[in-house]
Amino acid sequence: MGRDAATPPGRQGFRMPAEWAPHAATWLAWPHKQASWPGKLERIPPIFVEMARRLAPGEAVHINVVDADMAGAAEEALRAGGVARDRVSLHRIPTNDAWARDHGPIFLNHPDGRQVILDWGYNAWGNKYPPYDLDDVVPRRVGELLGLPVVEPGMVLEGGSIEVNGEGTLLTTEACLLHPNRNPTLDRATIEARLRDYLGVRHILWLGEGIAGDDTDGHVDDLTRFVSPNAVVTVVEDNPSDENYEPLRANLERLRTMPDQDGRPLTIHTLPMPEPVEHEGQRLPASYANFYIGNQVVLLPFFECAQDEVARQTLARLFPTREVVGMDCRDLVWGLGAFHCLTQQQPAPGSGGAGERLGGAGLTVP
């Protein structure tokens, strides 16, 4: 990693850029686990094709596949979907499931252009969905592929449980990071120290509970997202009889008291919650906060209700240089996640966190 491999990267000047910082690429894992979308798996690959088609004009897209048969199926689907194949690469990196946000590599940048990958421990959200042995080693496999150093912080953490602004502030939830099914031997102070040492943050903000139906124990990417170094967008529920009403109101009240890394109050924008989405009697974690910020587009989950357009217009105001693309996620969320859960950004080397810099997608892995 450079100067002192024994020193955590955050102490060496590395940091995790904000999601809107220029990407070299987006990483996906081709869907194949029937148990994640029981009865609907055949409807999921076309959604991945459309995601790749929308992202590829602005950045490279890397897709992990289990074997040659899956690679062939993915190739055929991408070609039929009109995806620019010179912008998409398939890699034989086997996975147990498709949730690249949570098991995939987290990239850190240094101002001098160096990059490092963090390989946090992964236990499928508290050992809920074994096996997860293949997912757990994906960051190291990606590091080998890209020739980047890989560092293990020695703590279980999913990418969807944290949100950074690239300027030193991190958002997370007590419900997830303090849950005993992740790191039962680590207390809050130790977890905070680990986040600072390995992500290069200095200011940590804690929200409370997650949304109904979220099997991750309260990931922040279904709740609140940074949209600039000093501003967040957070979901709210207007129906007092809905089970999300009180937890989301409590999180909003916390945000109103929170400063950024420079002591300034956060600017808070709100997104509505969609109408409840259920399947086979199960409440699903449908949330507009699970959007993904690409170089040229913002992929926004739609749930075919009136709130879709409100969410689209809100994000269009917040990301004026990007096209906000709404896509029907009623089938996708049957897997208990949406676009942010399925993606992991690879920042361009040297890119930071501030501003609306678009950048190009300059990396292609053969």
Nearest to 23 by CA among 281, 365, 361, 271: 361
CA 217 to chain centre: 15
DSSP 181: T
Which of 176, 305, 329, 341 is catalytic? The answer is 341
Strands 115-118 and 150-151: parallel
Q: What is the DSSP letter of 119?
A: -
Residue whose C-alpha is closest to residue 62's, from 76, 72, 52 = 52
The closest of 311, 310, 264 to 290, measured between CA atoms, is 311
Q: Which residue is associated with the tokens 């958002």?
A: 171
Residue 341 annotated among the catalytic residues of the structure: yes
Radius of gyration of the chain (CA): 19
Q: Do 325 and 297 touch, CB atoms closer than 8 A?
A: yes
CA 215 to CA 186: how far, in whole Å? 22
Q: Tell me how crowded residue 207 is: count the other CB atoms within 10 A of its CB.
A: 25
Positions marked catalytic:
341
